[in-house]
Copies of this chain bind each other. A is one copy, B any other.
Amino acid sequence: MFVSRDEEPAFAGADWGTSRFRLWLMDKAGNVLAERRSDDGLDASRASGFSQVLECHLAALGAPANLPVVVCGMAGSRQGWVEASYVDIPADPATILAASARIIDTKRDIRIVPGLAQQGAKPNVMRGEETQLLGLVHGKPGFSGLVAMPGTHSKWVHLEGGRVSRFSTYLTGELYALICSQSILRHSIGAAAESVDADHPGFATGLEQALAPDFSLLGTLFELRAAMLLNGQGEDEAAAKLSGMVIGSEAADARAKAPADIRTVQLIASGRMERLYRKALGAAGFDCETVDADDAVRKGLHAAATGLWFSSRKETA
């Protein structure tokens, strides 16, 4: 599909998280015209003032003073710029966007996309991922299926007719990092934590363990230390096995809880993380359709902008 590229931006989209800030100027069709990335996360931005940080980056890209801006991520949390309260699922895109928080003390139109909440016996929240899901549904209207969004707090999302019906959060990335850097296993893993390759045999071993019936992560972790003490197991091997165990635990549980007829997962991830999860999900019996994580954020911001400002107008395409 050929998409013409406007020379003038139609909006700016920002992914504003706890530790980083990313900004794109896009045209109405979602083509990226300019980009900024910085470490202006929440803490840094609170000190300088959120409005000032945003305007500074917009100015650096030459954005017009009336360019509207849509923001997703932790900037909409209680600790952020303005709280965009969680919207209960299930909610369609229009309902979600209607609940955006509008910044009132600025000249330009700035909206923050709200997160989603799952009420009830299995309470859960997401903030930031909902925007990627808006992008996915914008590209596949009425989509039903399973979406995996690996990370510090991995999200597994069930969509039905383009709306989130339920989701889970796995503390996989955070626990992996804590175990590698803070637990007794740090002596067995050293600096190998961040370089595990999906093709390392230890990763496959860890996956196999985690996917076996009756696997207990809590009851297996210490074996990584014992293998070092008794067999001289190296740090790369320990890190790869640990990575396989934790990602495999996530995949095994997601498989156990997914409806039997769901085989395909939309995997929103990039780079090394994408390779690790593709391998783990494959071992758990899923087929993966990968969506690049960066691309998913931009598509989501474009979908949000379209819903907020352009949907009733004719697209220039």
Residue A294 at the chain B interface, CB threshold 8 Å: no
Residue A253 at the chain B interface, CB threshold 8 Å: yes
Instruction: Return the CB mask of A115-127 against B: 1 if under 8 Å, else 0.
Output: 0011100111100
Copies per complex? Answer: 2
Cβ of A15 to closest chain B Cβ, rounded Å? 19
Residue A261 at the chain B interface, CB threshold 8 Å: no
Chain B residue nearest in CB terms to A175 = B218
Cβ of A91 to closest chain B Cβ, rounded Å? 15
Which of A91-141 touch B at CB < 8 Å?
117-119, 122-125
Chain B residue nearest in CB terms to A247 = B218
Given A124-B223, A183-B178: A246 in contact with B218 (beta carbons within 8 A): yes
How many residues belonging to A are interface residues under a CB distance threshold of 8 Å? Answer: 42
Which of A58-78 touch B at CB < 8 Å?
none
Residues of B within 8 A of A51 (CB): none
Contact status A123-B231, CB under 8 Å: yes
Partner of A123, one of B123, B124, B183, B227: B227
Which of A219-255 touch B at CB < 8 Å?
219, 221-223, 225-227, 229-231, 246, 249-250, 253-254
Residues of B within 8 A of A174 (CB): 183-184
Given A216-B249, A218-B246: A230 in contact with B182 (beta carbons within 8 A): no
Contact status B256-A170, CB under 8 Å: no
Given A123-B230, A222-B124, A230-B86: A182 in contact with B178 (beta carbons within 8 A): yes
Partner of A253, one of B117, B182, B219, B257: B219
Given A174-B184, A178-B178, A178-B182: A123 in contact with B223 (beta carbons within 8 A): yes
Nearest 9 interchain pairs by C-beta: A169-B222, A216-B253, A123-B226, A171-B221, A124-B226, A123-B227, A125-B226, A170-B219, A170-B218
Binding site for B on A (CB under 8 A): 86, 117-119, 122-125, 153, 168-172, 174-175, 178-179, 182-184, 214, 216-219, 221-223, 225-227, 229-231, 246, 249-250, 253-254, 256-257
Excluding A170-B216, A175-B221, 6 further A-B contacts by CB distance (< 8 Å) are A123-B226, A169-B222, A170-B222, A175-B218, A216-B250, A218-B253
